[in-house]
Structure 1
Amino acid sequence: MAKLIGEQVETFTDKVAANDEGGKGCASLKFIRVFREYNREHKPDLLSLIETRVNGGKADSVIAKLGFHRSHRVEATRFSGGIWICWKESVCVNVLKNHSKFVLVKVTSTSFRQPFLVTFVYGSPNYSKRRLLWEALHRTIPVDGSPWMAIGDFNTIFSPTERRGGWTLGKRWHPFRFLAGWVEHLVFSDFVKENLRVSANMSTVHSKFTNQVKRWNKDVYGHIATRKKLLTKNLHSIEIEQIEETWHILIKLR
């Protein structure tokens, strides 16, 4: 099952930021080490890196060390911004639109029933430029009912409680982690149609839908982390039983 990993609190992006040396982004000496830790844990088939701050030959060199078979990138501008998309042979990725602040791709694989669209976004910190981005994004939304999502760094706050005076408090709250398995679920398409109402205020749209899909993942789809822990615990119990059974057999043979 393909995994699409976007930025989220306490995951890979925050680890890179914590180890970033002087704002070097993916050119940081610690980047590859931190990335490999993340890759071992999550094993993503498709990955997006936002605000890479690396261009040209240096970018090619870093991407070659990530362990993915294919890649596409939007160059950073004066060491600011940049979008990298990397994927393995388990998925097929076709770039449909290349924009300075986002990339729209179509993802297909034999592991899920139908293709879906993903827009990887890096929103400008400038409000006026960000409004132009929302308008451009709105024009790329499929009208034929195809599954579509937008992930990345939107450089916006999602709640008035994050702002005090002219200052934004704490970290930006990033969108959820999207699992391709959701697309295969029988009721997910209806859930999206019912709960995702696109409007000009993208911050409100993402905030509301993020909360709704988190509840849906836990109550309907089944929280993947909880299921993983339960399966690991069951496997461990089986291994212990097998060891004890083998031990008793060896004692009898003696």
Structure 2
Amino acid sequence: MDRVRRKLKFDYMFCVEPRGLSGGLSLLWKSNTNINVYELCDNYIKANININNDLNWQGIFVYGNPVFQKRRRLWHELTVSNMSKEVPQAYLGDFNDILNQYEKVGIHPQPRIYLETFRRFVDDNDLIDIDLKGNKYTWFSNPRNNVITRKRLDRVLVNWKWLQIYQNVNLRASPAVTSDHCALILDTQQRVRIKKDFKFEAYWVEHEECKEVIQRSWKWEDGSRNCWNQFTKKRNRCIRELMEWSSRKFKRADKKIERKKIELHQIQEAAFFHATTIQRRIRNRIDKLRDETGQWIIGEANIMRLVERHFTKLFTSEGNRNLEECVTEIPKRVTREMNEELMANITDEEIKEAVFIMGCLKAPGPDGLNELFFNNTGIF
């Protein structure tokens, strides 16, 4: 194992020695991770873990015995010895069990007692199953009667406290290459938050100061003779001053929001409600898409470009676009006078009318200034 550790470029290692040619567990980690093993046996390693001086959590690395009776005793032992349900916990490994029938493909269904026993272990320890991305199954058998059995035996189970720390966790299965199991990759890194776009808030207009801030910033002149450039600069200055005013005026709103959250948590079973929301968010997140060549595209920017390219192509016509012969056979419905009216220059009054008949919160432009801004600030 020490040769394996060096080849994989890990700094430290802890092993539970095999019995003969079977069994054995290994835990390898790098120097940026602090691991303190405090309990072990043939089927699990328990350790306190700290990565990059972040929050501590308990990792229970599990190998479920292939024999059901021994596996059931293991689940009972782990449940009875779990005296730290209030600290962040994660159970990781090959459990040799599944939670539902759809996690297996094969000739025979999983016995019901197997499912119920494993589910009871998960429920008794208040654990949440992290959704798996990539391969649906993590283990496959040798062909039997020309049928390959596939199961999701490997997984990560965490409690609510752990999920609070790593809300953007990502679990994916890599392809099985030299083993009948797929390696699991657990990514706990926080996703980079996208900068929130500016939006003119409806509750701002309830404050007289808001109108004063807008009118003051809009009166600013830079001497530019280009009307569009002048409008753009005024708009940008207005947005900047509105954001500064809002941060000063409503700086204590975070405390009010926090109090309301506490009240909401008391009404709703906060742990279950929030955990369900986080789990659904993880399940719905798009981590990769397959392009027309069958290649997997990863990364948020690359996925957005792929989607844009797909719909651009979808709504772009192909082939001969000369429709003259078809058009000549269509009876005319638009007269010359109607066409001249349609092609006439747009007047300021038409623009103003179009803006002011919009719903107050409808169709904000890219700058975040909706109809409420134009209709209630007295500058137009």
TM-score, normalised by the number of residues in structure 1: 0.50
Tell me: higher relative CO, structure 1 or 2? Use CA pairs within 8 A at least 6 residues apart: 1
Larger radius of gyration: 2
TM-score, normalised by the number of residues in structure 2: 0.35
